[in-house]
Structure 1
């Protein structure tokens, strides 16, 4: 039935019924795009039907348009006249949309609510179990990343990716984290090299100071020896004058060509850029991937590219989703720093 419209034997009603049957057939045959176009056409003629909106949601799910699916289902869920069966289906599609958008915690909560109403549903159980395993791998990977256990973190992220390789929203999230493992590992290597070089310089300076100290010590010892000898002569002379019989007293891209210096661990920079690109191919507004790639571009003095990525990150609607991972204030400061570096960078007139 088409809610809110008469199904009398009129040409318009027969046309709508034929379109509905055509939609059902297209969706059953796996022609999701054509089915979506068909239901959109129906909705232009009959826009207030709850069942039609539900069919639109099914088509959006089949087409993989998860952002629009989430918005449509959320609006549809607010309606009071839906049956319990329709409500469960809408809740399920919201859970699926959240899953494909990479919002695992919210998706798990939705599936738990579905299981509360239908605890024996095998599909709900399977989906919820898989999502929990994916979330667990990512969380364990994040813990290892925070402890600088980069190889272990990457292994866990890879396991998470293998659990749902077609989930672009989730993959973008995981790729951005994996990109950070390469970037931060390279930073750690560079930091260790810098600390080693600093310590080496301190040792060299200390050795120089030690040599000077030794020289000063030898001179001081010689002066002390001369002073004691002089004192002894004076004292002996004095005592001889005073009493001739007295005795004297005892005395450590494949992608870009470095323009100014050879950085430590360049391979890690390139791997971080590669994984950031993988994340951005799946989610062009992924803030963590944009910031990570911008920092890598800064390291290799590709300041123009870095500025573009920082500006994209600041313009992204997802900038403040996880302030612990990416802080908008820090991003602005880093952008200013790169702009300053670009201003004073040496111009290469031969660069193509």
Structure 2
């Protein structure tokens, strides 16, 4: 047979084992992973798994890559699969524990790390992370107890520590948003809730928190819409059900109080506002208004100290509440607590620099200035509206009561005190009986700046005032006669006290 007649036989093609291709893809993925090119690494590990779906290490590597991409749920599934394929795969258990911890399940994380320590008792990662898991559980316990006590600042601190260790835990973020709302930090609370809703628009807990913020900011209609949506998504959502019930009761009671106030039933309104304040202590905005409303009614019922206390509670809850400051300042003025009134009007003027508020501040300062002087009306025991005759009668009565001759047999201390009072009575009469001086005194002007100079001589002899007054025939209750008496009493007055 010739060479030309020989048939050409093709060499058989030997295909590469898929496991070899898979290993090549894994190595390629490792390079991408080290260079922080996680998407490319993820694609390589996924291809390796397709080629060899029974290799635990490939799932472990992909789990590590998902973790770097903050996709902890996907990472957890791969880690679980890796230990299902190889029950002695330590890295799989470590990654499973890290995913549980990141997702906020410290108990499950602890179980994973215990598996690691059974295989490698000195595994440093497992020992460190197991302590972190226990720490998170402790913070959870503290937060639960403090939430029941209403110590929301401490709850916030605990949640922030938990989130540091468990960055993918939605539950901790929801609770942080909730306590931020309860602390009145509504903007921050809504930002947390909105971040959750961007990833899960049907998250009932986040919708509930956003409804809380609206409710506490007095946006009742929108708040009710949110609570209703929560209950459609989760009919057994107890917190949404409770706050929805409280919100409706609070608004109804407040409106009932307003109705009684408008009808002039002040005590009924006062009682209804009191009942409303017991409904939801966490609603600072509405409660601030309720305290102001009750203060308004209280001032009309002449419960001035209670009204001042309610205004103080109102501004404690809302330090920009202008009406509450105005009401408290007015109560301070009415009760002659002028120092406090001036402080309030200064705050008011800072908040609203209107001409009216400027006038109120000036009036308060004037009354404060006047209050620092001797109160001549009080010394004579008369009202500021007293007539000339009432001023004379008051002087006559007080002068006779405090005249030194009447107390000549008392102890030196008593004599000294009565002499002082006698002098003050004389000063009071000298000012209030003079129309020009009285006008300046009432206006708060300095008495030593009287027109014409000279002003009032406070060193004037009170006995001279007394002698002038009684010698003019204005002193019934005593008789003239006899030689010149002592003690500054003219003509030997003989007192006839009843």
Category of TM-score, reference length = shorter chain: 0.5 to 0.7
- 1:132 paired to 2:167: no
Deviations 1:129-164 (A, max 9, x none): 331221122123223334443223213212312333
In the TM superposition, what is the alpha-carbon distance from 1:89 to its structure 2 partner?
0.8
1:193-204 → structure 2 map (5 Å cutoff): none
- 1:274 paired to 2:309: yes
Q: TM-score, normalised by structure 1?
A: 0.56
CA separation of 1:90 and 1:314: change in aligned 2, threshold 3 A: farther
In the TM superposition, what is the alpha-carbon distance from 1:120 to its structure 2 partner?
6.6
Deviations 1:242-291 (A, max 9, x none): xxxxxxxxxxxxxxxxxxxxxxxxx4333322332344455555443322
- The answer for the alignment partner of 2:70 in structure 1 is 4
- The answer for the alignment partner of 1:304 in structure 2 is 339
- 1:89 paired to 2:205: yes
1:347 to 372, 381, 391: 372
Tell me how far apart the structure 1 counterparts of residues 354 and 293 of structure 2 sit (CA, whole Å): 18
CA separation of 1:30 and 1:268: change in aligned 2, threshold 3 A: closer
1:36 to 136, 144, 156: 156
Q: Provide structure 2 residue ranges, at least 5 long, that are not aligned to the other structure.
A: 1-66, 73-93, 99-124, 376-498
- The answer for the alignment partner of 2:471 in structure 1 is none
Higher relative contact order (CA 8 A, sep 6+): 1
1:28-177 → structure 2 map (5 Å cutoff): 28-30=144-146, 35-43=155-163, 52-58=172-178, 60=179, 65-68=182-185, 70-79=186-195, 81-84=198-201, 87-97=203-213, 99=215, 107-118=223-234, 121=237, 124-164=240-280, 169-177=285-293
2:142 to 12, 26, 44: 26
2:325 to 276, 279, 290: 290
In the TM superposition, what is the alpha-carbon distance from 1:94 to its structure 2 partner?
3.4
- The answer for the alignment partner of 1:206 in structure 2 is none
CA separation of 1:35 and 1:17: change in aligned 2, threshold 3 A: farther
Tell me how far apart the structure 1 counterparts of residues 255 and 247 of structure 2 sit (CA, whole Å): 12
Is this contact kept in 2: 1:291–1:331, CA < 8 A? no
Is this contact kept in 1: 2:177–2:189, CA < 8 A? yes
Q: For residue 163 of structure 1, give the secondary structure of its aligned residue in structure 2.
A: coil
Q: For residue 199 of structure 2, give the secondary structure of its aligned residue in structure 1.
A: coil
In the TM superposition, what is the alpha-carbon distance from 1:108 to its structure 2 partner?
3.3
- The answer for the alignment partner of 1:203 in structure 2 is none
- 1:335 paired to 2:452: no
Is this contact kept in 1: 2:207–2:230, CA < 8 A? yes
CA separation of 1:315 and 1:102: change in aligned 2, threshold 3 A: farther
In the TM superposition, what is the alpha-carbon distance from 1:306 to its structure 2 partner?
1.0
Q: Provide structure 1 residue ranges, at least 5 long, that are not aligned to the other structure.
A: 187-266, 320-326
Tell me how far apart the structure 2 counterparts of residues 101 and 108 of structure 1 sit (CA, whole Å): 13
Tell me how far apart the structure 1 counterparts of residues 68 and 210 of structure 2 sit (CA, whole Å): 23
CA separation of 1:34 and 1:121: change in aligned 2, threshold 3 A: closer
In the TM superposition, what is the alpha-carbon distance from 1:39 to its structure 2 partner?
3.1
In the TM superposition, what is the alpha-carbon distance from 1:65 to its structure 2 partner?
4.4
Q: TM-score, normalised by structure 2?
A: 0.42
- The answer for the alignment partner of 1:255 in structure 2 is none
Tell me how far apart the structure 2 counterparts of residues 117 and 82 of structure 1 sit (CA, whole Å): 16
Deviations 1:168-219 (A, max 9, x none): 5543321211110122x26xxxxxxxxxxxxxxxxxxxxxxxxxxxxxxxxx
Count the aligned residue pairs. Answer: 254
CA separation of 1:101 and 1:334: change in aligned 2, threshold 3 A: same
In the TM superposition, what is the alpha-carbon distance from 1:294 to its structure 2 partner?
0.4
- The answer for the alignment partner of 2:405 in structure 1 is none
Structure with max Cα Rg: 2
Q: For residue 78 of structure 1, give the secondary structure of its aligned residue in structure 2.
A: helix
- The answer for the alignment partner of 1:253 in structure 2 is none
Is this contact kept in 2: 1:2–1:49, CA < 8 A? no
CA separation of 1:2 and 1:349: change in aligned 2, threshold 3 A: farther
In the TM superposition, what is the alpha-carbon distance from 1:293 to its structure 2 partner?
1.0
CA separation of 1:34 and 1:293: change in aligned 2, threshold 3 A: closer
Tell me how far apart the structure 1 counterparts of residues 357 and 225 of structure 2 sit (CA, whole Å): 32
